Chains A and B, each alone.
Chain A
Amino acid sequence: MSLQIDELTVRYGSFTAVSTVDLTVTDGEVVALLGPSGCGKSTLLRAVAGLERPSGGAVRWDGADLSGVPVHRRGFGLVFQDGQLFPHRDVAGNIAFGLRMRGVGAEERLRRVAELLALVGLSGYGRRRVTELSGGEQQRVALARALAPRPRLLLLDEPLSALDRALREQLSVDLARVLRAAGATALMVTHDHDEAFTLADRVAVMQAGRIRQVGPPARVWARPADEEVARFLGCGTVLPAEVRAGMARSALGAVRLRDVPDGPVELGLRSAALRVDPSGGLTGEVRERVHRRDHVRLLVRLAGAGAGPEQVEAVAAVAGAPGPGDVVRLALDPEGIAVLTAAP
């Protein structure tokens, strides 16, 4: 019960959208394809669904090549970014669609529809018109519709991107619960780190048609493979450091890092890597200030910068946050620091 993608390549004319990708999704696992828009992740997903014809490589299920199997015989469920519910059917009619295609009896269909409505938290919505639903409700129905025929693999194409932020955060938690409850094996496409890390057991970072790194979310987040992956995962500054006995020394000072062997490394600094701290060892002048929900983000020009960067991002608490022109002291915080795994 597993999906294997072997050296899959998809070309549009001379443009290679997906280039020799290898990936495995095992039973009950949720894998997220994470990457910037245009990196080929949706194309890869569509090729798995059978909606794109690969120009090389293979998609296999339990070792059997699927290249001759048309979309409707693959038994893979697909959820689009914007639902794509059938406008001429009500909620129950949408959810029952896949069951009807498989010739499931009317009584069994009713039972399964009720079960799924309960699962996605929409009990009693069966007779509603899908055009009357909110975006979040539509997306829940789309999920229920895809899950109803018990697909052997669920494909999710940016399932939450069309929703506004508050709803997206809530629904991603719900989605994680539903996927676990249904025991679904799933491959999900997203460009949102939070979404990927909330939902996935493993994350595959994709850039320019290739998979750059695969691993558990926490590992990928803390140990990006190279500078490009690090920058995509929010590290605005990358700088060299020397580790000795757990202490990493760089142009911005020393910081204690766990589980890093001695020797030269590269550090990826997210904005939270530097905090305003009166006892910090760095001094600089605030150039810009942006309020975020629970902190303030600063752009700081460092005083007397030598080998290090001239400007850095830093964070401060909302209360008493410094403004442009203020001089602040900054300290390194290991929480905001990633260690690149590829040697420099």
Chain B
Amino acid sequence: MTRRAAVGLGLAALLPLGFLGVFFAWPVLAIFRLGLAKGGVLDALGQSETWRLVGFTLGQAAASTVLALLAGLPVAFLLARCALRGIGLARTVVMVPFVLPTVVVGLAFRALWPDGGVLSIVLANAFFNVAVVARTVGGLWSHTDRRAEDAARALGASRWRAFTSVVLPAIAPAVASAAAVVFLFCATSFGVVLVLGGGRFRTLETEIYLRTVELFDLSGAAALSLLQFVAVVAVLLLGAAARRRRETALRLRRKAETARRPTGGEWAVVAAAFAVVAALLVPVVGLVLRSLSTSDGWSLAGYRALSGTGQNGTLAVSGLDAAMNSLRTATDATLLALFVGVFAAVVLVGLRRGRTGHGLGTALDTALMLPLGVSAVTVGFGYLITMDALPGDLRTSPLLVPFAQALVVTPLVVRMVLPVLRAIDERLRQAAATLGASPLRVWREVDLPLAGRSLLAAAGFGYVIALGEFGATSFLVRPDAPTLPVVVARLMARPGGLNGQMAYAACTLLMVVTIVAVVVIEKLRVPTRAGAVGEF
């Protein structure tokens, strides 16, 4: 890399870093200042209530993570190692829960267990994250050389012994990385806990929300945010370490060479995997049924009611208007996230390439992951106390929500596009350069065509995530322009008459959009790189 190119990359890195700085670091730091300023942190640390919250947050996250791992590993085996009919369908079904809006999942489990409780929270969180385990572990598993296993068997290891001594060490980095990500998602899970736990079961995340919105205890909320951030950073660093090992330590093979028809005891694992896949469908089907069944039998009343504003005008706008708001906001957020995310991915690839930029690259990579772990509620809260300082008072701007959603979506875009860009042999770009292509032309002629499908998939993926984003949106949305998930939460908070029915109907619609998006994404999947989509 020439010096000029290095300087160019350094400057280019300023764009994603600037975005992160203004729309992430600044709001979050403002929260910290608020938390530290009035001794809020010390107060909070002294309260037994705080430690009960911490305990419950970590406990439910740990339980959900274990459950997601137990359910996800057989599915990972199925997706990675088995050549069977129906694998494509299973892959799609597994992916659906992950992109479902949190309020939809919350409501789906509430339809199954109206009483809620800890068990339903853990189940819902695990339901969400089976996809993360299956895809992250499966992605690596499908590319690890099967011949190492065959060699172990030929040397006299039993099937189980070969698994524990050869396969498990090979996929352990992916398992660790998946566990770290799932733990984060569960610990900062907001919509699910809010809908299922109500006032009884609270995590740090919902407590921050309740203290801000209902108790106006800003300093207490800020103190809890700070506490949560420290824990998140710790987990993220562990995950980053695991990821680094995975990228360097393995010789990858094409999937076609590693998938076979299962034999013997493997069928038990396959059966377990299909059982998990079937179980994932239960809340989905339950939600659809619940949206159609009223006390008077089957009816479309909930769907019809979406054209109105709910029982006794619960809502400021009609359900349809909210749906239109959702679509508009998600479009803006996706475009923004694609721009920043792709830019960041290109910079990261460039930095990894150069000898000098390696450290900066790793730092930027980890920084870009931070918003994934920091609670969306904290970010939303932070916007409220900082954005008035920007010109044009962004707090009342319709762009505020898209910015917040883009912040949530950008890390996912980076994680989807980056592996594909990194997998492009550097010498392919060099070949183009020696043939006379300028750096910009190389990007257009080589990177873009080869990463195009995963870019489209990232766009679709980002769109549904933005559509269902609830944590930050619920803070920032203007009362006269709510999105669909916000409307759903409001309807559930004022039950009675048609409101509940309307909420279930709205959730079903969100779910349908999500499922369509997932099917399209699966179609766009780059065939030889099983892990490219939805790998973290």
Chain A residue at minimal CB-CB distance from B424: A87
Q: Chain B residues with Cβ under 8 A from A86's Cβ?
A: 428, 431-432, 445-446
Interface residues of A in 42-60 (CB under 8 A from B): 49, 51, 53
B460: shortest Cβ distance to chain A, in Å? 21
User: Which of A12, A80, A87, A102 is in CB contact (< 8 Å) with B436?
Assistant: A102
Q: Report which of B2, B427, B437 forms a contact with A101, defined as CB distance below 8 A.
A: B437
Interface 0/1 of A115-153, CB less than 8 Å to B: 000000000000000000000000000000110010000
- B2 — nearest CB in chain A belongs to which residue? A53
Complex CA–CA separation, A74 to B430 (angstroms): 13
User: In the complex, what distance in Å separates the CA atom of A260 from the CA atom of B2?
Assistant: 49
Interface membership of B251, Cβ < 8 A: no
Contact with A along B416-432 (1 / 0, CB 8 A): 00000000010110111
Residues in A neighbouring B11, C-beta threshold 8 A: none
Does the CB pair A88–B450 fall under 8 Å? yes
B433 in the interface (beta carbon within 8 A): yes
CB distance B428 to A71 under 8 Å?
no
Also in contact, A97 and B435, with CB within 8 A (given A12-B355, A70-B2, A88-B450): yes
Q: Is A78 an interface residue (CB 8 A)?
A: yes
List residues 88-108 of chain A with CB under 8 A from any CB of chain B: 88, 97-98, 101-102
Q: Is the CB of B435 within 8 A of A80?
A: no
Shortest distance in angstroms between A94's beta carbon and chain B's nearest beta carbon? 9
CA distance A49 to B2 in the complex (A): 12
A217 contact set on B, CB distance < 8 A: none
Complex Cα spacing A87 to B447, Å: 11
CB of A72 within 8 A of chain B?
yes
The number of chain B residues with a CB under 8 A from chain A is 23
Interface pair A145/B435, CB less than 8 Å apart:
yes
Which of B3, B428, B434, B438: most chain A Cβ within 10 A?
A: B434
A145 to B433, CA, bound (A): 13
* CB–CB B446/A71 < 8 A: no
Minimum Cβ distance to chain B for residue A121 (Å): 21
Residues of B close to A97: CB separation below 8 A: 432, 435, 437, 445
> Bound complex: CA of A98 vs CA of B434, how far in Å?
8
A101 and B435 contact, CB distance less than 8 A? yes
Contacts A53-B2, A84-B428 known; A146 to B434 CB distance under 8 Å?
Answer: yes
Q: Say yes or no: B430 contacts A78, CB within 8 Å.
A: yes
Within the assembled complex, what's the spacing in Å between the Cα atoms of A336 and B430? 42
A51 and B433 alpha carbons, distance in the complex (Å)? 9
The answer to whether A149 touches B436 (Cβ under 8 A) is yes
Contact of A51 with B436 at beta-carbon distance under 8 Å, contacts A70-B2, A88-B450 already known: no
**Chain A residue contacts of B445, Cβ below 8 A:** 86, 97
Q: Is B449 on the interface with A (CB-CB < 8 A)?
A: yes
Asked if B494 CB lies within 8 Å of chain A CBs, one says no
B230: CB under 8 A from chain A? Answer: no
Cβ-defined partner of A149 (8 Å) among B2, B431, B435: B435
B441 within 8 A of partner (CB): yes
Tell yes or no: A77 within 8 A of B by CB: yes
Question: With a CB–CB cut-off of 8 A, which chain B residues contact A102?
Answer: 436
Within 8 Å of chain A (Cβ to Cβ): is B1? yes
B434's contact among A12, A53, A72, A87, by CB below 8 Å, is which? A72
Classify chain A: how many residues form its interface, as a range: 20 to 34
Give which listed residue, A72, A146, A155, contacts B433 with CB less than 8 A.
Answer: A72
B1 near A98 (CB under 8 angstroms)? no
Chain B: which residue is nearest A145 at the CB level?
B435
Instruction: For the complex, give the distance between the alpha carbons of A73 and B2 in Å.
Output: 14
Given A84-B428, A86-B428, decide whether A71 and B434 contact each other with a Cβ distance below 8 A. Answer: yes
Contacts of A71 in B (CB 8 A): 430, 433-434
Q: Which residues of B contact A221 (CB under 8 A)?
A: none
Task: Give chain A nearest CB distance to B353 CB in angstroms.
Answer: 11
Residues of A within 8 A of B446 (CB): 86
Q: Complex formed: what's the CA distance from A53 to B436 in Å? A: 18
Hey, which chain A residues are within 8 Å of B435, CB to CB?
A: 72, 77, 97-98, 101, 145-146, 149
Nearest CB in chain A: distance from B444 CB, A: 11
CA distance A86 to B430 in the complex (A): 11
Residue of B nearest to A96 (CB): B435
Q: Is the CB of A51 within 8 A of B430?
A: yes
Partner of A84, one of B427, B449, B450: B427
> Chain A residue with minimal CB distance to B452?
A88
Tell me which of A71, A84, A97, A155 has the highest count of chain B C-beta atoms within 10 A of its own C-beta.
A71
A87 cross-chain contacts in B, Cβ below 8 A = 450
The residue in B355, B430, B431, B449 that gathers the most chain A C-beta atoms within 10 A of its C-beta is: B431
Interchain CB contact under 8 A, B436 and A76: no
Interface centre among A70, A80, A101, A145 (most CB of B within 10 A): A101
Which of A51, A70, A72, A102 gathers most chain B CB within 10 Å? A72
Q: How far is the CA of A135 from the CA of B453 in the complex (A)?
A: 27
A186 to B432 CA separation, bound complex (whole angstroms): 19
Q: Provide the bound-state CA to CA distance between A15 and B438, in Å.
A: 30
Residues of A near B438 (CB, < 8 A) are 70, 72
Assess the A84–B431 pair: CB atoms within 8 A. Answer: yes
The verdict on A49 contacting B434 (CB below 8 Å), with A70-B2, A86-B446 known, is yes
- The docked-state distance in angstroms from the alpha carbon of A65 to that of B442 is 25
**A72 and B428 contact, CB distance less than 8 A:** no
B431 engages A72 (CB within 8 Å): no
Interface centre among B425, B431, B435 (most CB of A within 10 A): B435
Residues in chain B near residue A101, CB distance under 8 A: 432, 435-437, 441
Nearest B residue to A46 via CB reads B430
Nearest-CB residue, chain A, relative to B434: A78
> In the complex, what distance in Å separates the CA atom of A53 from the CA atom of B3?
9
Known A53-B2, A86-B446, A88-B450; contact A78-B436, beta-carbon cutoff 8 A:
no
- Find chain B residues with CB under 8 A from A12 CB: 355
Which A residues lie within 8 Å of B430 (CB)? 49, 51, 71, 78, 84
Please state if A53 and B441 are interface contacts (CB–CB under 8 Å).
no
Considering the complex, which residues of chain A in the window 145-201 have a beta carbon less than 8 Å from any beta carbon of chain B?
Answer: 145-146, 149, 155
* Interface-central residue, A73, A78, A102, A145, by most chain B CB under 10 Å: A78
Write out, one digit per residue, whether chain B residues 113-153 have a CB within 8 A of any chain A CB (1) or not (0): 00000000000000000000000000000000000000000
Residues in chain A near residue B433, CB distance under 8 A: 51, 70-72
A80 touching B427 in the complex, CB below 8 Å, given contacts A53-B1, A97-B432, A101-B437: yes
What are 16 A-B interface contacts by the 8 Å CB criterion?
A12-B355, A49-B434, A70-B438, A71-B433, A71-B434, A76-B434, A84-B427, A84-B431, A86-B428, A87-B450, A98-B435, A98-B436, A101-B432, A101-B436, A149-B435, A149-B436
Chain B residues in the interface with A (C-beta under 8 A): 1-3, 355, 425, 427-428, 430-439, 441-442, 445-446, 449-450
Which A residues fall within an 8 A CB radius of B?
A: 12-13, 49, 51, 53, 70-78, 80, 84, 86-88, 97-98, 101-102, 145-146, 149, 155
By Cβ-Cβ distance, the 8 closest A-B pairs, closest first, are A101-B436, A98-B435, A78-B434, A71-B433, A84-B431, A88-B449, A84-B427, A72-B433
